[in-house]
Structure 1
Amino acid sequence: MLVQYAVSNYKSIKDEIIINFARIDDERDDNWTIPVEEPRCRLYNVIGLMGPNASGKSNIIDSFYFAIRFIKNTISRKEKSKIKVEPFLLDDQTQKQPSSFEFIYIYQGIKYVYGFSVNSVRVEEEYLLAYYSAKPTTVFERQNGAEYHFRGNDVSRQRELSGKTNANRLYLPVAAEWGYDKLSCAYAWFENVFDQYENVRISDVLETIVVDEKKKSILLESLQKADFNITDIYVKKRKLEKQQIDVIREMIAKIVPEVEVDNIPESNPEIYVTHRNKGENEYSINLNDDSSGTKSIVFDIAELLYLSQGGLILEDELGRNYHTRLTEYYLKLIGRLAPDHHRVQMLFASHDTKILNLLNRDQIYLVDKNEEGATFLKLLDDYIIREKDNIELGYLKGRYGAIPYMRE
């Protein structure tokens, strides 16, 4: 489970910003809480980012994607390939400094703190702390690119593994790949929680759901409760020609040239949905030909079901294709589709102001830019808000900032 995420010097983000999923106030609505038994704590399953266009909400989401992919693609990264990281460019100093990322998370009863800093050429800094007890233990530190500091009685083994870590690679996934048990567990969280971001097509996700009768039933029931008259969803396999596979391989190589392309699927699953009209007649169409709203809700609910062992969903522009009531319905589904989905978390960005009255105040970060053009956050809970206040109305009136300034 994700406890906290921090990022600095990335795109419009100059100074460190922190997204905290930890819940402190026991008096807030408990519907959004995930209880963690070991170490004992309570975490939010939903955190929202609200603010005007071009404030940096998307860059916060994008920083997550960058960090996750950099961690997971380290093993396949070519030795001297450039790191496509973008620092804050509106300052002469930050242009020359590395971008930094940090995750605090709980996996298999242990809390970890893992962070790293990178520039376009190499990993400048990397570290891992583990809470095997109440006090943190520094497992390793990496400074100035190749200066490692290890703890424990197997330092020689760790030094051997650090020698296998190229300048543009992270030590944690390299050591895990070589079977170093002490780091395998810490790395497994990224491998398991974020597997939907690595070579997983949405059509494959839907195919996984459709062939599972229980999950398919939940998907259809959820769609019908949301007023979508969809009675069935099924898959048709379409075999890909060699020429199509070659084109896909070339496209991947252009998009991520630093990563070696291995297996390309030889068939493409096509998803069909069956609609029932008012005359009780049914007809099936390819989901790709359906409305954007239908595609979005089917994909979003399927993703929740796909993450049956838990995971983190990153959603930019939540509600873009939804009626505001559908956005509310979808948010309430998080972690409540079935007993084994209670460990799903989501970070989203949205312009739907109705959400302000739905979530707790410490679940919403207001995002804006300062005079320097740098993104900053402020928790809605930092403002003095009375119980009877209409938060949405107060926000639209500019009481909490983070709204566009419109000149007449």
Structure 2
Amino acid sequence: MLIRFEASNYRSLAEGVELSMVAVDRDREAAREAPRLGASLLTLAAVYGPNASGKSNVVGALAWLRNAVEDSLRFWEDDIPLEPFAFGAGPTESSAFVLEATVDGVRFEYVLELNPDRVLYEGLFHYPEKKRRRVFEREGSELKLQRGLGGLSGTRDLLTQRALALSVARRFDEPLVSTFARDILRIQVMGQTPQRPRAGAFANRGGRSRPRALGTVSTTRLFDGPDTDQPSLFSVEGQGTKWPALSSREQALALLRIADLGIEDVVIDEQEVLLASSGETRTQRRLRLVHSSGDGPTPLDFSAESEGTRTWFGLIGPVLTALQTGSIIVVDELDASLHPTLSAELLRIFRSTVTNPYGAQLVFTSHDTSLLNHLNRDEVWLTEKRRDGATRLGALADFAGERVRKSQNLENAYLHGRFGGLPQVDQTEFFRALGLIG
């Protein structure tokens, strides 16, 4: 499980910002005990704030690190695709990332500092007996390994000034490294599209290309082909009870029906399509949702479904995968095209030890203040844009100390500006441009 994540000099994150999953209020279901850590970890984290305040950049930094571990050895030959803070000294300074997580109950810490030309520092540490021990540490091209990890010695031969040591070392059969890297690569990201930097890239990127899913499992795959090879979420013992073994297809269909109770099934078949340009006929796959109607079951093309149903359908594969593996799913703008009732249901699924027995975590950004009624004070983070264009990230639980009570109506307090994080609307300039005022 993710313990904390820190990033600096990335997009609008000029100075280091930290997102922590350590619970402040431990006496509840969403706070999962981590005995070796001496704390409890949360399964939910929500980032709120005005437009252009940097919400997407907070989760985008985590997405960047995940993709760096996957891509650096293959694609970073010429340069490192960093996007430093565009103002002040940002373009000339290095960027840094820190990720702490538990893997099989053991705390791991990964530290990375780099610039567009090379990796300056990289270190992976673990705490098997509460004391920090080095797995590997790298300064420039010099790599030091923990004693007894000779199987990683080949990392030195493949290491370049731009490739991450973690990207190289994960390819060797050393569980201490490969299991940590596996958990990083299991992070699924929706709504983010990390890009290579452009000349003149600005601090809060509003001009991103179309968002897509990164590292996610397609929902369509759960309904396509034989179901026998698909793992079952509830075929393990949990909370002292043996859950009934349900196939992934059945689980996916059950989640889909939450969005539309009229859906009976999902059909994936083939259809012949006539190409107007050439007159040729081609066969293509077709996805349809089967609805109940007065005339019996009726298949409806997926493109004809509501945007909310299509968005929910796209979430099902990543959500089930996260629940099955106890991994992290990151969703930028969870409320986009999704009804608040469905968003709230998703929070309940991740909070419950019944539907989330392995401690999967959901980290998301949102403008939907109604979801604050379903979140605890330590699950909410707020972004603000400073005068220099940099993002400030703050924990709601730390705001004004005990005045943010567990029982407080967070939505009402947020909308009344108690915690900041609201857009400052001033129509004076607009009225002046319209000639309505002098």
Residue of structure 2 equivalent to 1:248? none
Give the distance between the partners of 1:270 and 1:310, measured in 2 at CA: 31
Seen in structure 2, the aligned counterparts of structure 1 residues 146 and 402 have a Cα distance that, compared at 3 Å, is same
Residue of structure 2 equivalent to 1:86? 83
- Opposite residue 123 of structure 2, the aligned amino acid is Y
Give the distance between the partners of 1:238 and 1:40, measured in 2 at CA: 57
Matches within 5 A, 1:1-400: 1-27=1-27, 30-36=28-34, 41-77=39-75, 80-91=77-88, 93-143=89-139, 145-153=140-148, 160-194=154-188, 197-198=214-215, 200-201=217-218, 203-204=220-221, 207=224, 214-236=247-269, 270-277=286-293, 279=294, 281-307=296-322, 308-334=324-350, 336=352, 342-383=358-399, 384-386=403-405, 389-400=408-419
Q: Which moved more, 1:48-57 or 1:62-71?
A: 62-71
Q: Which moved more, 1:386-395 or 1:54-63?
A: 386-395
Give the distance between the partners of 1:289 and 1:209, measured in 2 at CA: 26
Superposition TM-score, scaled by structure 1 size: 0.82
Percent identity of the aligned residues?
25
Give the distance between the partners of 1:273 and 1:33, measured in 2 at CA: 37
Deviation of the 1:354 alpha carbon: 1.0
Deviation of the 1:88 alpha carbon: 0.5
Seen in structure 2, the aligned counterparts of structure 1 residues 9 and 209 have a Cα distance that, compared at 3 Å, is farther
Give yes or no for contact 1:75–1:173 (8 Å, CA) kept in 2: yes
Give the distance between the partners of 2:284 and 2:166, measured in 1 at CA: 34
Deviation of the 1:153 alpha carbon: 4.8
Residues 185-207 of structure 1 deviation map (CA, whole Å, 9 limit, x = unaligned): 33232244559834855543554
Seen in structure 2, the aligned counterparts of structure 1 residues 44 and 182 have a Cα distance that, compared at 3 Å, is closer
Give yes or no for contact 1:205–1:306 (8 Å, CA) kept in 2: no
Residue of structure 1 equivalent to 2:193? none
Give yes or no for contact 1:365–1:377 (8 Å, CA) kept in 2: yes
Deviation of the 1:337 alpha carbon: 9.2
Residues 86-113 of structure 1 deviation map (CA, whole Å, 9 limit, x = unaligned): 000111x221112211110111232110
Give yes or no for contact 2:384–2:421 (8 Å, CA) kept in 1: yes
Deviation of the 1:74 alpha carbon: 2.7
Q: Could you tell me which runs of 5 or more consecutive residues in structure 1 were left unpaired when the two chains were aligned.
A: 241-266
Give the distance between the partners of 1:345 and 1:209, measured in 2 at CA: 29
Give the distance between the partners of 2:314 and 2:114, measured in 1 at CA: 33
Give yes or no for contact 2:383–2:391 (8 Å, CA) kept in 1: yes
Superposition TM-score, scaled by structure 2 size: 0.77
Residues 157-201 of structure 1 deviation map (CA, whole Å, 9 limit, x = unaligned): 655522320111011221221334542333232244559834855
Greater helix content: 1
Q: Which moved more, 1:211-220 or 1:45-54?
A: 211-220
Give the distance between the partners of 1:293 and 1:188, measured in 2 at CA: 32
Deviation of the 1:121 alpha carbon: 1.8
Seen in structure 2, the aligned counterparts of structure 1 residues 368 and 239 have a Cα distance that, compared at 3 Å, is farther
Give the distance between the partners of 2:222 and 2:353, measured in 1 at CA: 16
Seen in structure 2, the aligned counterparts of structure 1 residues 401 and 335 have a Cα distance that, compared at 3 Å, is closer
> What secondary structure does 1:141 align onto?
strand
Say what the alpha-carbon RMSD is for the aligned residues: 2.9
Deviation of the 1:376 alpha carbon: 0.9
